[in-house]
Structure 1
């Protein structure tokens, strides 16, 4: 049912219009009867109404004033004016504010019914159009990951429009990526995976991978491109200005999400091979062209590849976690606190920390604290029993036990050696 309000300063007319017209058969329900345009405006400020049937002459706010308010604030609401005056000025104002119909008193109820039957049809058509637009929008959103993937894949494969900035911008907008090709920062991750079962490999194709992991997060769009049997590239484009550190951090956080998703849903183990930042798509494109132009006679050696991996061993997120631990080592530092700081699930963070550092989280915290304790022991100002408290251990015996396990000496023996 569409909601209708009736506005007239004469109670008899309000009641008559409400009761003598079969509104239900027309698809309407009378939500409110009001005696002045000012009352109607206040009502419209707090309630949704599909149609207004109003007198033109009232005490404080006229039907024209009401039509003006509707035009400016509720443009989808239909307005029908009743008037005892066939004046050109009133009709002109009614047209200006897009009044649906201008009816003269005395009112013919059949004519009112015909007018609102037509309005109901118009509202039905508008509702159908909104539903169609919404469905199309959903279709576009569901296809956008594929459109983005195809865009980047074509770009990196050497599409002829890749060097045309205007066409490049047009393709970006079409893919939902309003990024300046020259200035919008772009991050690129290369990763590889190993299949737990051969059957999984057969069921994973380029499109399903892309659909599974492409999404918008914190004003960055990501897309995945399957470039070979066991390698893929994830490209993230920032839609808002942000620092290099923030973009790299958020991009790596996204990869951690992807990594966890692949493992839990597909049984696929993936690792991050490299993470780079480019000042725009043009720079990214140039990088790929340079890589493609390298002659086959200059392969990357295993030693060079190993060196590159060692350089990237500690990812941004793990470096940030380590720094957070070193800055707060003296506190009661729970794993959940550090995981929350870097934006990861605690269970996943624990597994990732071990994978990247080779140490359990608790072992790493102990090693940092003992290292700090060794520094304190070099200063005779500090008493041995005080140092345990300074590095986060309230139980002195437990501190001595951990110190000896790490160094082979008690704190006193270590100080004596110094």
Structure 2
């Protein structure tokens, strides 16, 4: 068990540490925070079972901390230790679930009694939580495994009538070929915060959702919820009664999930089909409805064809990611997180301006992203330098939701910016391992001095700004880029002038100067002699 001590006064934290015989309750980890905000971060990360908090602290005070714990359904038990004998503070402690309000200076006996009571209550509730989860899992395990298998086979379209045999007695399904509607609840992009009460176990959370659905449908034997074997984190519900009120039934399911699990789920509701032959089509229909829901709309959780979003029509999406490829690529190659964030914001703002972002559209963008990201990596690094991890896109275009179940445009933008910033950081690190970009530019000049090279040409070639190249080149090599290009050309020109069979105009062309007169002018500036004078001098020196 873990305990957290929250107080801005170090001597108070040390006093609590010394006064409590932690080993009596098997508390093996002690955490400390100096304010409410720091405490929240530790609670999210460590999930302590026991929390001591002061009330008057900087950044976020004790009342803010208690309110946050209450709103986020934190399981840990709280003991308030304060120097203020204040009715409002005491009232807020009780209101937001605090167990004790102890005044400073701390009386050891009072503190130990409070700890004993809090730990005992936490353990009782923890046992209850685990038992409830275990009962839920056992309840589902008691149902024959063939139910999930049978319904899954019906969706797959295999062994239709064989798989349907026996479902009537087990689920209350009407005999024959009754009309049914299929609803699909998705846990896609579940936020980690929703799993805190389930020891971060997504399977336990999934079974809790499944239990809620079957509890509602089972009361009137109006349907059955099952786990589709080929659907990751989906709850499939087959409804065979109250079909006209199916929308209301699904809203009730959603409301119960919100009350019990403190989050909401999107549900796709298909049209009426005959069981079992139409189940496959009904599943595809519900799946398509969910894929076409507008993530920017936060006022609807149950989506159906009668809502005016027919499954046969794919709404026009927003701008293609490839439309912004050049801007995003340059931002990534700059390696500047601020520039990446600015460019990503332009893209997400344009996407949102279309008024509609769907999971289907995110998949399309995700495919574009994977192709572009791989191309950027290949542009920056050679094939042999390209590690496997850079060839795999991240999850920036997967549907992710907030703890309340809503899609956040800001969070999506932050994920994409963060992923691209990390991608850029990796690219630059690998590039530096294989020689800095300035040395790559120097090599490029040495290989291409015969051609006309401008600073802009080099900037385009290496996806960097002209200013950056000029500044970094001078810093690393101690010479201006233009002077370096000229010096390389002159060194090669001197070598060529040693060949008497070559004319000056030919030499000028071979070192990147199509104009002989301009070449002679530059040569004299570098050497103090014209090309002919240099050749004559070298010839005479060789003769001696």
Q: Same fold (TM over 0.5)?
A: no
Q: TM-score, normalised by structure 1?
A: 0.40
* Larger relative strand fraction: 1
Q: TM-score, normalised by structure 2?
A: 0.31
